[in-house]
Structure formats: C-alpha cells, structure tokens
Amino acid sequence: RKQNDINITALTTSKTPGSEPVKMLNIGSGPAGLSSALYPARANLEPVVLTGMELGGQVSLTHIVENYPGFPEGVGGSELVELFQKQAERFGASVKFDTATEVDLSQHPFRVATYNTEYFADALIISTGATPRHLGVNGETELTGRGVSYCATCDGWFFKEKDVVVVGGGDSALEEALFLTRYADSVTIIHRRDELRAGAILQKRAASNPKIKFIWDTVLTEILGDSAVTGISLKNVKTGESTEKTTDGVFIFIGHLPNNDLFQDQLEMDALGYLVVDRHMHTNVPGVFAAGEIADPIFRQVITSAGMGAAASMQAIHFIEALEDELPEVETIA
Ligand code: NAP
C-alpha cells in the first residue's frame, strides 16, 4: 500500500496563540468516534473528540437500537450515545461541541481548524460518518422540512393521522416505515424494483403491518406542493406509465454518502468516496486512522462502527508510543 511520504518531526509542541496541541484528536462523535476515545482516555492520552454538528451522529436520531449487545430489550439511540460519551469522559476524554472546518495532513502534528480552535494533533482518528443520500428530484430541496424528511424519528410525530410515503427498499426504509406507523394513518413504500433489499425479519414485519402498502417497480420523479408537500409524481419503470399520488409526507431512505469533504486530495478514497483503510484502520497517511461509516460502506452498524473505533484507537495509541520512544519507524500491531 502506498504511504504518503510525510516527515514526522516532532511530538506536540505549542504553536500559535489560540492553538491547542493534543496527542489524539477524534473527528466525529458517533459510535466510532466515541468508542475510539475510550482506549486513549484509559491510556491517559486525554483525547479530544470533536462532535460535529450532531453529537452521536445518525444513531442519535434512531428511535431504538435492538442489535447492540448488552441491551436485550433494546436501547434508545440518543441514550446509547449518552452512555458512550459518559464512559469516555469518565476516563478523561474531552468531548467538544465543535466542528472541524479545515484539515492539513501534509504537516505533522496534523493541523485541524475548527470554529473555535486550531488543533495540532500527533494522531488523528477520523469518524465523520455518512449523510443520507438525496433523490435529486424537483421539489426535494425546496420542501425539505415541509413534508420531505430523511429521519422518521425526528419528524414522524408531525404526521399524526396523515398519509406518508417512504422511498427505498433497504433495512432503513422498512425500519423507518414501521416506526412511522405509530403516527401515520398509512405508509406507502415506493421501491424501484419488485424485490426488497431489506432483511427477512423487517420484510415480515412490514408485510404484516396493516398500515403499510407497497408500490413496486416505481420511481419518484417529482415532489409536489408550494408551502408543504401535497403529492408526488411517480413513474413505473416497467411500463413507463406516469401517475400522481396525493401524500402529506415523503420520507427518503435510499442509502448514504460518506462525509469526506475535509479529506479531498489528502486521503485515499474508493470510487464511492469512502476512506480506504487497511486492516489496522490506517489510512494512507501514517498517524491518520479512520473508523465507522466514513470507511465502511458495507456493515454500517453501531457495533461494527464501535469495533472499528476501538481498533483504530489501539493503533493510534501504538503510533503515539512509537513517536514518544523515537522509534525510526512506526510499528503496527501485527
Ligand atoms: P441500502 O441497503 O443501500 O438500501 C438503499 C435502498 O434504496 C435500496 O433498496 C435501493 O434500491 C434504494 N435506492 C438507492 N438509490 C435509489 C434511488 N436513486 N432511487 C430509488 N431508490 C433508490 O441502504 P440502507 O437501507 O440505508 O441500509 C444501509 C446499511 O445499513 C445496510 O447494510 C443495512 O443492512 C444497514 N442497516 C441495518 C439496519 C438493521 O439491521 N436494523 C437498519 C438500517 C440499516 P435497490 O434495492 O434497487 O438497490
């Protein structure tokens, strides 16, 4: 694997006024980011976690997490995030409600500017996650927050006794559709094929829920409404037939895009924009590690992200130890 040829010169030293030298900086506060602070905190490295705009990331918007071990009855998404945070802070991690705006990986310590501070970090763990993908149809941007939503947990309540549609055929679409049945009178799932991508259990639950209906082989081509959603235009991909349907809400769950803007032209990415890491969670820049959905287009679970965070942080600790020992080369755990 190609490694960037950077010159690792010094451990953290004081820089310009207002700047903060840190041994370990974690960008992102989802399950990967908060888990990756736990091990360094216990190793007295006083990691700093930048929360980004949303403490906890996507899971904090999840109503209930039923597949994270240790919680046989399930646990609320935001409750789980709070527990992750508490546990990391208990050992000395510092969670800052701040967002990275600029990253320079060509120098070491790495420079990370935020709204409030300029950090210089010996090791960096990137856990910036992913953002819901948009359909890109007319009306979508204009009516977001006025009937168009990417989060049933956040907005479901507004659709009490209303009729809504859900776009997508994966686990997210079905899980969120099921959640919406708590409020809405009807939830119509619109899927572009005649077969769902979602797992069997969710399929069974959705199929047996009397409030859920399906429209197959169909794409949404426009969202209608002036000040609020009133309907949608649809096209059957097999027959080519176009129709309109009235609806009060459009919930879109068609996958995610990695939050990689800060790392363009600095870190290796795959064709979809996910950061490329090896099995030690190394990116192509020594001392920069990545964990969670920014580096994982496949599993995208709380447990896998937390596991990646733990693995990345163990390697980052090793990296810092090697720097402190002034080893000529940074070793990794084999
Ligand atoms: P996903 O599995 O990638 O599914 C996206 C769905 O949206 C697919 O059905 C896809 O259709 C459809 N789609 C994509 N682009 C579209 C477009 N432009 N127009 C219309 N439809 C479009 O995404 P996800 O549901 O967010 O799940 C992502 C990962 O998280 C998966 O690995 C999933 O298992 C996991 N997850 C797990 C749980 C759970 O275990 N409880 C819950 C949520 C998510 P096609 O099927 O035709 O491609």
pLDDT tens digits, 35-80 = 999 999 999 999 999 999 999 998 987 778 888 999 999 999 999 9
Q: With beta carbons less than 8 A apart as the criterion, state whether 214 and 188 touch.
A: yes
**Quick one: pLDDT at residue 66?**
84
Mutate to test the pocket of ligand 1, among 192, 194, 223 (most ligand atoms within 8 A of CB): 192
pLDDT on residue 328: 55
Q: How far is the CA of 161 from the centre of ligand 1 (A)?
A: 26
Two tokens at 167? 């776009």
Which amino acid would we find at residue 301? Answer: Q
Q: Would residue 98 show up in a list of annotated catalytic residues for this protein?
A: no
Q: Of all atoms in ligand 1, which is nearest to the CA of residue 168?
A: 7
Q: Both tokens of residue 148?
A: 């168009």
pLDDT reported for residue 84? 97
The predicted structure's pLDDT at residue 39 = 96
Contacts of residue 182, defined as CB under 8 A and 6 or more positions apart, other chains included, come to 156
Say how many C-beta atoms besides its own lie within 10 A of residue 291's C-beta. Answer: 34
State in Å: Cα 183 to ligand 1 middle.
23
C-alpha angle 93-292-90 in degrees, rounded to nearest 5: 20
Ligand 1 nearest atom to the CA of residue 202, by list position: 41
pLDDT value of residue 107: 95
How close is the Cα of 271 to the center of ligand 1, in Å?
A: 18
Q: State the pLDDT at residue 332.
A: 52
Which parts of the chain have pLDDT scores under 50?
1-17, 329, 331, 334
Contact yes or no for 52/130 (Cβ under 8 A)? no
154 noted as active-site residue? yes
Q: What pTM was estimated for this model as a whole?
A: 0.79
Residue-level pLDDT at 7 = 40
Catalytic residue of the set 5, 122, 154, 226: 154
